[in-house]
């Protein structure tokens, strides 16, 4: 019976495998061109309200005592400090309305 795996056949297959690996590596290393950044859309409509387009950001990390993953969920009962949350919301409404008193801000 003839040997199906001789040195010549081994070298042929090793050369083919090496060539394919080199081609694949070279092909995958090609960088694709970075696409252009799309243009921003113009605003839709016209801003409404006393201060059109005004956005207010308020943040108070002490509103919740959640320590992150592994500490339950931040919305579970007893996690949120309602008085701090109320103060944060009041500050938001006053900044949005441009007032220093909450009652005036709601009007």
What would the pLDDT profile of 67-98 be if each residue is shown by its tens digit? 888 888 888 888 889 999 999 999 999 998 88
Per-residue confidence (pLDDT) for residue 34, from 0 to 100: 67
84: its two tokens: 């701090």
Q: Which parts of the chain sit beneath pLDDT 70? A: 1-5, 26-30, 34
Per-residue confidence (pLDDT) for residue 26, from 0 to 100: 64
CA angle, 75 then 76 then 78, to 5°: 110
Q: Model-level pTM greater than 0.75?
A: no
9: its two tokens: 């056949």
Q: Do the Cβ atoms of 106 and 99 come closer than 8 Å?
A: no
Per-residue confidence (pLDDT) for residue 70, from 0 to 100: 85
């Amino acid at each position: 019976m003839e040997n199906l795996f001789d040195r010549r056949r081994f070298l042929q297959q090793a050369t083919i495998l090496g060539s394919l690996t080199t081609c694949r590596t070279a092909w995958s290393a090609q960088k694709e061109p970075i696409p252009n950044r799309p243009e921003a859309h113009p605003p839709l409509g016209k801003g409404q309200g006393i201060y059109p387009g005004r956005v207010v950001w308020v943040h108070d990390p002490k509103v919740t005592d959640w320590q992150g993953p592994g500490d339950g969920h931040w919305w579970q009962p007893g996690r949120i400090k309602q008085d701090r949350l109320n103060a944060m919301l009041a500050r938001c409404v006053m900044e949005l309305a441009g007032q220093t008193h909450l009652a005036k801000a709601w009007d």
